Amino acid sequence: TQRFIWPMAQFGQIINMYQRARASSARIFGLMDEPSRIAEDPDADELVVGDGDVAYDDVTFGYDESETIVKDVSFEVEGGETLALVGPTGAGKSTVLKLLLRMYDVDEGAITIDGQDLRDVTIPSLRRQVGYVSQETFMFYGTVRDNIAYGTFGADDETVVEAAKAAEAHEFISNLPEGYDTEIGERGVKLSGGQRQRLSIARAVLKDPEILVLDEATSDVDTETEMLIQRSLDQLTEDRTTFAIAHRLSTIRDADQILVLEDGRVAERGEHEELLERDGLYAHLWGVQAGEIDELPQEFIDRAAR
Ligand code: ADP
């Protein structure tokens, strides 16, 4: 289920956060997807991103104490590289990336960006420099223009249109009843998953973050739209540290590193060819994705369920 619009009860909360964020920073949070349980250290410094190196060091996390979801996950990504996360549904891919946006704090271990622990930097400075693209990206009641500009302070109309063009969204926006002034949400126009994905790409293009978190769409788009999205994403991820929950074969194949998660742990890692040769979980997931085999062999399903 995609949460497109927050329930009204939560909307006041967003406005409140919005105002607080504006007061503390020239820009506002790029993303607030879930109620936040984290607290900012009063001595927190601004995050300063140089190369954009990211490291997870023995990261362990659970949403509640009864269950650990992410288990001892370690990896390093160099600035500009792309790391693809793959694994069965429920393996913990989104959770691993939510930790990078600091929607939650790790229980054990540490995550650093260019050597700075996420817990030591201000949240607005983090959210400003780490962009998030997904069909589930938070949209609010308002115009298409405002939704694209969300997270970027003082964007003028022309730059918003440029960003929409880069995201292959300009055409469908132009066909909406009032173009960029069209209201979206329950009282306005309802957008398809593919359209939301492109608005979220446009928002990221405008924001131009140093680090990008990409939750690729699985369905809900036709082949032509898929190709358009692919083209815009390829541009967006170039020369930018990118983390992708990867469904597109091209992202997976061309990633500098692939991390295969199974039940919250790193099961395999490497580049595409290396992992195919191992003939393990990755090779089989790839086989399914590429249509070479119909379904994941039972042994992997059994393992994931353990
Ligand atoms: P993936 O992205 O690989 O499909 P997720 O990170 O979404 O996996 O989910 C991993 C596990 O964490 C699942 O068992 C899921 O039910 C659980 N989970 C995800 N989000 C929450 C949440 N907000 N609260 C509690 N449990 C969650």
pLDDT digits 0-9 by tens, 251-266: 888 899 999 999 999 9
List the beta strands (DSSP E) in the chain. 54-61, 70-77, 82-86, 108-113, 116-117, 130-133, 142-143, 183-184, 211-215, 241-245, 257-262, 265-270
Torsion of CA 124, 144, 135, 100, to 10 degrees: -10
pLDDT value at position 36? 55
Ligand 1 centre to CA of 304 (Å) is: 14
- DSSP code of 192? P
| 286 pLDDT higher than 90 | no
Listed range (147-151, 164-168, 221-225) with the worst mean pLDDT: 221-225
Number of neighbouring beta carbons within 10 Å of residue 102: 19
Q: Whose CA is nearest to atom 16 of ligand 1?
A: 90
For residue 29, what are the CA distances in angstroms to 78, 170, 264? 25, 24, 28
How many CB atoms are located within 10 Å of the residue 39 CB? 10
Atom of ligand 1 at shortest range from CA of 34: 23
Please answer whether residues 32 and 135 qualify as being in contact, where contact means their C-beta atoms are separated by less than 8 angstroms: no
Length in residues, the chain: 306
* Range of weakest confidence among 66-75, 112-121, 169-178, 249-258: 249-258
| pLDDT at residue 26 tops 50 | no
Q: Can you tell me the ipTM of this complex?
A: 0.99
Sign of CA dihedral 110, 103, 217, 174: negative
Confidence of residue 174 (pLDDT cuts 50, 70, 90): very high
Closest-CA residue to 134 (of 85, 194, 209): 194
* Residue of 37, 59, 61, 63 to mutate, ligand 1, most atoms within 8 A of C-beta: 63
CA distances from 16 to 8, 11, 22, 35, 187 (A): 13, 9, 10, 13, 22
Q: How confident is the model at residue 219 (pLDDT cuts 50, 70, 90)?
A: low
Sheet (strand 257-262) strand order: 130-133, 211-215, 241-245, 82-86, 257-262, 265-270
Question: Model confidence over 105-128: pLDDT tens digits?
Answer: 999 999 999 999 999 999 999 988
Q: What is the dihedral of CA 235, 238, 241, 244, to 10 degrees?
A: 50
The winner for highest mean pLDDT among 76-85, 138-147, 192-201 is 76-85
From the CB of 144, is ligand 1 less than 6 Å away? no
The residue among 6, 233, 255, 249 whose CA lies nearest residue 142 is: 6
Residue 67, strand partner residues: 64
Mean pLDDT over 92-113 rounds to 95
In this structure, the strands spanning 54-61 and 108-113 are antiparallel
Between the CA of 265 and the centroid of ligand 1 the distance, in Å, is 14
Per-residue burial over 156-182, b if 16 or more Cβ lie within 10 Å, else e, is eeeebbbbbebbbbbebbeebeeebeb
Residue nearest to atom 6 of ligand 1 (CA): 92
pLDDT for 305 = 58
Arithmetic mean of pLDDT over the chain: 83
Which runs of consecutive H residues, i.e. helices, occur in 63-176? 93-100, 123-129, 144-149, 157-166, 170-174
pTM for the model stands at 0.81
Sequence-distant (6+) residues with CB within 8 A of 7 are none
Which is more confidently placed, 252 or 130? 130
Mean pLDDT on 143-164: 91
Q: Is 133 helix (H, G, I), strand (E, B) or coil?
A: strand
Give the residue whose CA is nearest to atom 20 of ligand 1: 95
Of residues 41 and 23, more confidence is placed in 41
Residue whose Cα lies nearest atom 5 of ligand 1: it is 92
